[in-house]
Amino acid sequence: MGEDLQRKLQAELDNLKSAQKELQKAISTRQQLDGQLNENEIVKKELDLLPADNKVYKSVGPVLIKTELVEAKQNVSKRIDYITKELKRVDDLIVSLEKKQDTHREACQKFQHQYQQAQVKAALHA
């Protein structure tokens, strides 16, 4: 009985550690996306300040390529939309992983409590 509970507890602990790693990875991804969103919003604000006939260059590898201002604004807007959607997806994933982590944590506590009760019973009957 005790060994079975101990195995279940260990399995739940492993699941909890795995969920924590996934959550940390998702949080890291979210932070990256947040930084990218901020950068793109700054670029958008800068592009909005330019007169319509201004020259804009974009960096492609080691080369600067002339780009129309309208096209540059559209590209930045598309990037902002994409990043915003990714942020929403990652936020949903984080919520899901937090729930998963809580479920594993509760299961660990339950098995730990059962294991302790089994040990007390065994000590009383010994």
Beta carbons within 10 angstroms of residue 19's beta carbon: 19
pLDDT at 69: 93
Average pLDDT score over residue span 88-93: 97
Long-range (24+ apart) CB contacts under 8 A made by 85-88 are 86/33, 87/30, 87/33, 87/34, 87/37
pLDDT at 23: 95
In this prediction, residue 126 has a pLDDT band, given cuts at 50, 70 and 90, of: low
pLDDT at 96: 96
pLDDT score of 1 more than 60: no
DSSP state of 54: -
Two tokens at 49?
A: 């300040």
Handedness of CA 73, 75, 76, 78 (dihedral sign): positive
pLDDT at 7: 86
Per-residue pLDDT tens digits for 19-33: 999 999 999 999 999
CA distance 112 to 108: 6
Per-residue pLDDT tens digits for 37-82: 999 999 999 999 999 888 899 899 999 999 999 999 999 999 999 9
In this prediction, residue 106 has a pLDDT band, given cuts at 50, 70 and 90, of: very high
pTM tops 0.85, yes or no: no
pLDDT score of 100 more than 90: yes
Which domains, from first to last, does the chain contain? 2-125 (1.10.287.370)
- Candidates 19, 47, 3, 30; CA nearest to 105 is 19
Average pLDDT score over residue span 84-100: 97
